[in-house]
Structure 1
Amino acid sequence: MPPTELTIARHGQAWCNQDQRIAGPATCRGLTPTGRHQAARLAARISAEHQRQPYAALYASPLPRTRQTADTVAVAAGLPVTVVDDLREPDYGTADGARWADVVAAFGAAPALNPDRPIADGGETWLQHQQRVHTALLRLVAQHTGQRILVVAHGETVTAAHHWFCHVDALPVGFAADQTALTTWRQQPISWLRPHDGQQWALIRHNDTTHLAAGHDG
């Protein structure tokens, strides 16, 4: 059986990135012109990859910035988009639309130092977000055993996936996830000399943005 493969693409530059604001379901304004250009470059690359080795499915977070990125990819690659609500970024409750600087100041510490505490009223904790994303990814991977799938989501999705595959709640390191960067995990034998000993997940690429380089043709 071919290996199961999961690729996560972060969305392109969004207005919330430019304005340094939290942008949940109520306030996300989608992609900036730069973000739309980045999404087009990502789409060209995914289309080329899809022609060489097809993706079985394309999934996306429901927020406008991820939907716009995924829709651009879908048109170029000829893949329908399936929205999975549980792939969305953390729920920030009453902080939706607020400036990050103000929210963190009110929180009183770097949010990463308190993963079991919501950043604002009505929000979810980082650990709750991780569990939600882990469950969603597990379900998608199980549905596509032996296939390649693409998820267009958030930087937090990349981090949550790394923690899931490493079997930890958190690691004392960060994971960069630039706009439209690609991260891929693939199952492979624990031992190539003893393939019947089982499979493990291997990180194939991380934070790959070579498609944004001038002249890159996919």
Structure 2
Amino acid sequence: MARHHGAECMTMPTSVLLIRHGDYVHRPSPAGEAASDHGLSPWGLLQAKALHDRLAITPALRADLLVCSTLPRARQTAEAIAPAWGIDVRPMPALCEWESGNEALGAEAFAAQFHALPAPERRHHRFHPGCETVAEFAHRVCTALAELTTRHAGQGLAIVAHGGVIEVAFQHFLGFGPGLFEGGYPAADQASLTLWRHDQGRHDAWVQVFANDTDHLRHADGSDHLA
């Protein structure tokens, strides 16, 4: 995408709008499968509608490309907001949440194992056979972000994904490298918006414009309820 002014052509900065999926129905499966994600809940559907309505009236948040995780909660959120921009949804498996093994182990057992490890050791620990380490997950997401921003330089990208993906995106754009934040982590509430824009000027770097914006949810259910 380029903006023309007379004989000059100014390339627009690449932007990445990160959107976390809405609230969803979670029923752990006995086998610990991804089927535990049963799509958006009634509140999640209201969140997605509020997202759509905000994006439809906010030209500054216009997207040229909409990609999403293949998990039901992300796909349904993306499909709900796509009409605001009149574009199709492109599912990408690389944008799925961390396959940590927590579903197979159970939330309590996973949390106990996770917190028993020193933070640096968590990066390469495989919590369950066949699942990803933190480092592998971060590499997957960072590779996808690098490919998307390179292939679609000068465009507005919208990505509907998960809290873990948004956390890795902070590491990617700030240049921290793979791994979990050890002293804290960036908030990413359900149906939140986080915007990154590439500064092509003197710094040639990614700039966080805003993060974890959920103002559109203030009256999503007719009250002041916030996700």
TM-score range, shorter chain: 0.7 to 0.9
Q: Are positions 1:45 and 2:54 aligned together?
A: yes
Instruction: Look up the match of 1:209.
Output: 214
Contact 1:92 1:119 in 2 (8 A): yes
- Distance of 1:160 and 1:30 partners within structure 2: 23
Paired residue type of 1:39: A
Q: Are positions 1:157 and 2:165 aligned together?
A: yes
Instruction: Look up the match of 1:5.
Output: 15
Paired residue type of 1:186: R
Instruction: Look up the match of 2:96.
Output: 88
Q: Are positions 1:183 and 2:194 aligned together?
A: yes
Aligned-residue identity in percent: 33
- Distance of 1:24 and 1:82 partners within structure 2: 23
What does 1:55-204 align with in structure 2 at a 5 Å threshold?
55-93=63-101, 95-96=102-103, 99-106=106-113, 109=116, 114-168=122-176, 169-170=178-179, 171=181, 172-189=183-200, 195=201, 197=202, 199-204=204-209
**When the two structures are aligned, how many residues end up with a matched partner?**
206
Shift of the 110–67 alpha-carbon distance from structure 1 to 2, 3 Å rule, reads farther
Contact 1:24 1:92 in 2 (8 A): no
Shift of the 52–130 alpha-carbon distance from structure 1 to 2, 3 Å rule, reads closer
Contact 2:55 2:61 in 1 (8 A): no
**Which range is displaced more, 24-33 or 134-143?**
24-33
Paired residue type of 2:125: R
| Residue segments in structure 2 that go unaligned for 5+ positions in a row | 1-10, 222-227
SS class of match (2:38): coil
SS class of match (1:178): coil
Deviation at 1:53, TM superposition (A): 5.7
The alignment yields a C-alpha RMSD, in angstroms, of 2.6
Deviation at 1:98, TM superposition (A): 5.4
- Distance of 2:132 and 2:169 partners within structure 1: 18
Larger strand share, 1 or 2: 2
Paired residue type of 2:166: V
State which structure, 1 or 2, has the greater radius of gyration over its C-alpha atoms. 2
Deviation at 1:131, TM superposition (A): 0.5
Deviation per CA, 1:103-146: give whole Å up to 9, x if none.
22355626956121122221101111000000001111112111
Deviation at 1:75, TM superposition (A): 3.1
